[in-house]
Amino acid sequence: MKKSTMNKAALSLALGSLLITSQASADTLLGLYLGGDGWRSEVSGSFGNSEPAPTFNFDSKNQGSYFIALEHPIPVLPNIRLAHNQLQAEGVTLIDGQFSFAGEAFTVNTSVRNQVDLTNTDVVLYYEILDNSVVALDLGLNGKHIKGYASLEEQAEDGLQGEESVSQWLPMVYVSSKVGLPLTGLDVFAQGSYVGWSDSRMYDLQAGIGYEVVDSLTVDIRLKVGYRAVNLRLDDLDNLYSNLDFKGVFAGVELHF
């Protein structure tokens, strides 16, 4: 074989190998994640304009959560994750004591419809501390923007109505971890954000099991189920005091391109 022919063959082989390698490792260069969860939350707790705040009855509620994340190979720049979290509840409560809310005085033995909407958006900047087929660990900061309201309305014609609006950013610590179970496609995971100051605290935690149903060069598809718990113990956040718990089982899907 002539030397030029050998060089051409070697060049073709090298280019082919480079193409295959680049395709196989594309997600190590740039990864895009999309996902969504649905969860059935049991809601309990209190809210008002001061402490102690009245405790209200809430019905169970289906909530939704959606996210997009972008990971890249530049070590000094954090990855970014954006999430939108529905957090709503309502119910009917018979007031057992007189109190004021949003400038309105509600009397004893009054039936009120109580509602909260503390839907929020996460802007997470994080670093991958560990990232392999067995263990993954991310650490970062979460800027959580809560934008919503709490309201009361008497269950009577021309009844009193009171509402307090909330729009605040909370800086939180963010942690996410996953441990793969070799040769099964299964993994166990945990993820959460937390902040605490003075008499206030908020956490958003979840843990569960994932299963990768599709693993290809084009897209990975992972299903997950678990348990999620959110607590908002807020002390005078835009004139709102609260101690609310949202807890329940969730299921979701995640796509990795």
Percentage of the chain beyond pLDDT 90 is 80
66, two tokens: 């959606």
Strand-pairing partners, residue 83, are: 67, 122
**Model confidence at 78: pLDDT above 60:** yes
How far, in Å, are 8, 11, 36, 141, 155 from residue 254 at the CA level? 43, 39, 7, 22, 42
**DSSP labels for 40-57?**
EEEEEEEEESSSSPPEE-
Contacts of 229 (CB under 8 A, 6+ apart): 203, 204, 205, 206, 245, 246, 247
pLDDT digits over 7-32, tens only?
444 434 333 433 333 333 334 578 99
- The residue-averaged pLDDT of 117-136 equals 96
- The residue-averaged pLDDT of 38-57 equals 95
**Model confidence at 52: pLDDT above 70:** yes
pLDDT of residue 90: 98
pTM for this model (two decimals): 0.86
- What is the dotted CATH code of the domain comprising 28-256? 2.40.128.90
- The residue-averaged pLDDT of 245-254 equals 98
